[in-house]
Amino acid sequence: MRITIFLLSFISVLAGAKTFAQQNYWQQQLRYEISVALDDKENELTGKMTLQYRNNSPDTLFHLWFHVWPNAFKNDRTAFSEERLRNGSTDFYFSKDADRGYINQLDFRSGDESLETEDDSLHIDVIRVILSAPLLPGAEVKISTPFHVKLPYTFSGIGHDRFHSYLAANWYPKVAVYDSKGWHPSPYLESVSPYEEFADYNVKITLPRNYVVAASGDLQNADEIAWLKGRTKAPEREKLPVKKNKNSFGKPKVVYKEIASDPETKTLTYVSSNTTSFVFAADKNFIVKSESINNESKTMTAWVFYKTKKFCCEDLSSFTELLYALKNSDKILPAIPFNNVSLVEGRTGKLPLVSPGLIAADVRDKSLSQSHLVHKMIIGSVINVNGKDEPWIADGLVEYFDRGSDGTADKSYQQIFSSDNIQDALLAKAFTQKKDQPLSTTYDRLTQQNKELIPNIRGAAWFNAVRVLLTPAEFDKRLARFLKDHVSKHAASGELENIFSTNIENAIPDSGEAKPKRRFAVLYKPEKWDSVPVTYIAPSAGYNTSDGLMAGLMIHNYGLPFERFRYFVSPLYGLRSRGINGLADLGYTIFPGTKIQSIRFGAGFAKFSTRSSKDSTGERINAGFAKFTPSVRLDFRNRSTQSSVEKWLEWKTYIIGETGFNYNLGSGGEYYPAKSGIQYRYLNQLTFSISDQRVLYPYDAS
């Protein structure tokens, strides 16, 4: 009895501790007041930021970390620049100084007291501000600073183009997240969903009067709202004379004179609450269209700011898709809390810009999906996940909802995640080659290939597999509760474990055997991917002087899904030699998963004619070679997952059989060729190769 009472008490303590931890979730409370002016002659922002920071944590704070992300574009030694190079892009690395940007003139103060700042030892876009006095739990501090931003050319999210079109994201000093795990200062990275504090914003933007502005938040100027709703066409622009190119048959391209900026300015005020950032775009050529949407009990206004009809008004246009996505977003997802959602046409860099209430995208992006962008906005802005430490949660959820929106939500993960999808097949290939990584891998530890596969595809597969395991109805109920509970809060894998590990065994069908215990595991991977061997057949042709024109077939299985046994066979019939020639290569690969990445056992074959003539009877005879090449190749695993170096060692034996001509004297005193016997020889080759096909200074040595 005592043991029973003790166990029940112990379980009660654990349950109480778990409930206590959930009820005592805390989050810092922030309020930004920002005034900023745009100088479109110098492409600069000048402003002042005041931050009201309330410490809701149980810890005493002695400093605040700030992101000053415009400095990511200051030189070619930033984390952003390195990321671009790893992705194979050199546009920023080789950009001119005039096209780069930075933030300066910072002077952090608390009241009249100047605060000391410390630069981060690695990243110039992160700084630490030392508080003048310890910030106790429950206490508040007000910090202000002027700032000046030299806007870069729009490489990623912030900047301008050649026609004075502006996009401003991450443009002001932004305090980093402080949560139960401590501070999370991080440099700006293009491919990482930023981890940001929720805050209230009051922002005033001053700029020339004839600029059209789109911004996250609610515009407070009634006259400006009326002006925007009447902006149904672009302002008239003067055509410039263009000389016709004598060497061109087409009409000369129409060039318009740039619209001069109005000498008068206007100041626009925006407010927003519980959002992770404030973003705005400005352009003198924007056309505006809007439509009200009734979403549940809330009325929302959808806006589009565009310059081309293709972006806005054609069938299946971006705005039409946005309206559909906003009206028909998955019922599991929490309702969009924003009063206004804006879609902006403009240059954004490599990826569309998705922020609270504002999506900016390039019309040239053919893969643009408004449904995907709305899912990304809800999951990234309404709830917020640490994209650097746990990228799979947000990316996996977005991919899961993207796939569910096409009617596949009730299918099993084997049906949805199959070799029919190129990314799924690539992930299956990574599994086979033992190049996959756990879902729990942080972004900076993922290989370049897995950055595109593990968080998105494997994460979505995990959510769908748990859905099948729990039953769709139970999974949807739990996921909806998780998302609703985390509106305007940070989410982490620990909460997902609490949501999905409860009674998860009950969803396993009873097979009459003992049920295995299952729990949440971010190491999940599908046990079986659909993999049907495919043989590809295509016509093949070749030519040499002895065989003449050759025609045949190319038969292989070099495709996806990846097969351990791979073959290539190409029989060719020589129209001149009237013989069968061709090439073949067979190989079987194993993946030890240790210091050796893979071992391939291969065999190659080739047969062609090298000489052709006529014998004494006038018949064509041919001499040539047949080559057989067995081989073993070892590819070595890199110590660092970020390394792009390839190292391999290969042993290959060339076994060659050759025939030639013997010349005999004929009765007429002429010499005639006769085919000789086969002569064999062999050659052994040991090769070590090291290469790095990086975008800067690639090398390859053997």
List, as one string, the DSSP characters of 563-625: -SEEEEEEEEEETTT-SEEEEEEEEEEE---SSEEEEEEEEEEEEEEEEEEE-TTS-EEEEEE
Calculate the CA 439 to chain-centre distance.
16
Maximum alpha-carbon separation in the chain: 119
Burial class of residue 238 in the structure, from the number of CB atoms within 10 Å of its CB (0-12 exposed, 13-18 middle, 19+ buried): exposed
One-letter amino acid at 326 equals L
Q: Which residues of the chain have pLDDT under 70?
A: 1-23, 243-252, 295-297, 314-316, 364-368, 405-420, 502-533, 561
pLDDT of residue 245: 66
Calculate the CA 207 to chain-centre distance.
34
Q: Is the bond leading into 208 cis (omega within 30 degrees of zero)?
A: no
Neighbours of 423 (CB within 10 A): 14
pLDDT of residue 587: 96
Evaluate whether 470 touches 504 at the Cβ level (below 8 Å): yes
Instruction: Read off the pTM.
Output: 0.83
Instruction: Give CA–CA dist 604/584, Å, rounded.
Output: 6
Block residue for tokens 């970390």: 65
Q: Is 617 left (phi over 0), alpha (psi -120 to 50) or beta?
A: alpha
Instruction: Give CA–CA dist 278/280, Å, rounded.
Output: 7
pLDDT of residue 699: 95
pLDDT of residue 209: 97
pLDDT of residue 9: 34
pLDDT of residue 617: 79
Q: Which DSSP symbol is given to 158?
A: B
Block residue for tokens 């746990």: 390
Q: Is 509 left (phi over 0), alpha (psi -120 to 50) or beta?
A: beta
Instruction: Give CA–CA dist 143/141, Å, rounded.
Output: 6
Q: Is 599 left (phi over 0), alpha (psi -120 to 50) or beta?
A: beta
Pairing relation of β-strands 29-39 and 199-208?
Answer: parallel
Burial class of residue 691 in the structure, from the number of CB atoms within 10 Å of its CB (0-12 exposed, 13-18 middle, 19+ buried): middle
Q: Which DSSP symbol is given to 313?
A: T
pLDDT of residue 563: 84
